[in-house]
Structure 1
Amino acid sequence: MGVFKDADQLYELLGGLFDELTSDENIAEKFAKSALIIHFNYTDPDAEIWLDASQQDPENLVVITGPAEGITAEVEMSMKADIAHQFWLGNVNLMVALTRKQIVAKGPIPKIMKLLPVLKPAYVVYRQMLEDKGLGDMITEK
């Protein structure tokens, strides 16, 4: 069994993280400029999360947990949910994970890579969110 007990817990934690990040003024502004629609496909458990910055408006970023109708992603990121969890803890290097096929990306990789420095605060936010929810046992180190 993976780190998430089910898709609902994944949506609560990773969806909650994305909600938190899109409400951060600095992150929201930079993500909005990307104009990307990113679709995260997870396995173990099966789940999906969409991030939509197509309006290029930091006040109008959309996070969708679950299937989304009528949206076409510019970037598709597929991975086991455990890899996503480890990434947001700061334990997985994106380039290494892409090379090892732990994460499979389709779309403009350079655009994704440009967002990485903006996401550095997310590692702290995710760890704190887990602690706040009494899930500190889910926090692991590299």
Structure 2
Amino acid sequence: MAVFATSDDFYAVMQVIFDRLIADPGATKDFQSRKMIVRIKGTDPDVEIWLNGKTNPIQASIGPQPGRADLDLLLAVDLLHRILTDQESLRAAFMDGRLKVSGNVFRAMQLADLFRKIEAIYPDVMREQGYAV
């Protein structure tokens, strides 16, 4: 059974996470210094998150957006959940093809700090939203 029944369920959790990160400029400083736009596309359910590090503060947009990203990540939402709860390795998911990257792969590695920041608050936000973690 999928962690999130609908895209709206996923978006509700992610909105809280990015609202908190954006409220703390130190949390997104490294990502912002990379000056890139990242689109994270998830499947089952189909979701999109756009992160714009070219703005101050960064912008997180939920759902499909017009335009082009510098870097696209594609993965199953349940895999993202397992990565953010430290049940799976981001690196292993990339190496075995479960995480697909379009764009400069070296830029994808620059997202490590942002993923660590998300991992740090994700379990608490999930619990606050009524999910078992």
TM-score (norm 2): 0.89
Q: CA–CA distance in 1 between the matches of 2:9 and 2:114?
A: 25
Root-mean-square deviation (Å): 1.6
Runs of 4+ in 1 over 6 A off after TM superposition: none
Alignment of 1:123-134 (within 5 A): 123-134=119-130
Closer/same/farther in 2, CA of residues 18 and 109 from structure 1, 3 Å limit: farther
TM-score (norm 1): 0.84
Contact 2:79 2:88 survives alignment (8 Å): yes
Residue equivalent to 1:116: 112
Fraction of identical pairs, as percent = 23
| Alignment coverage as a number of residue pairs | 133
Distance apart, 1:118 and its partner CA: 4.6
Alignment of 1:1-142 (within 5 A): 1-55=1-55, 57=56, 59=57, 61-69=58-66, 71-135=67-131, 137=132, 139=133
2:65 is paired with a residue whose SS is coil
- Unaligned stretches of 5+ in structure 2? none
Closer/same/farther in 2, CA of residues 66 and 117 from structure 1, 3 Å limit: closer
Distance apart, 1:84 and its partner CA: 1.0
Amino acid at match of 2:63: G
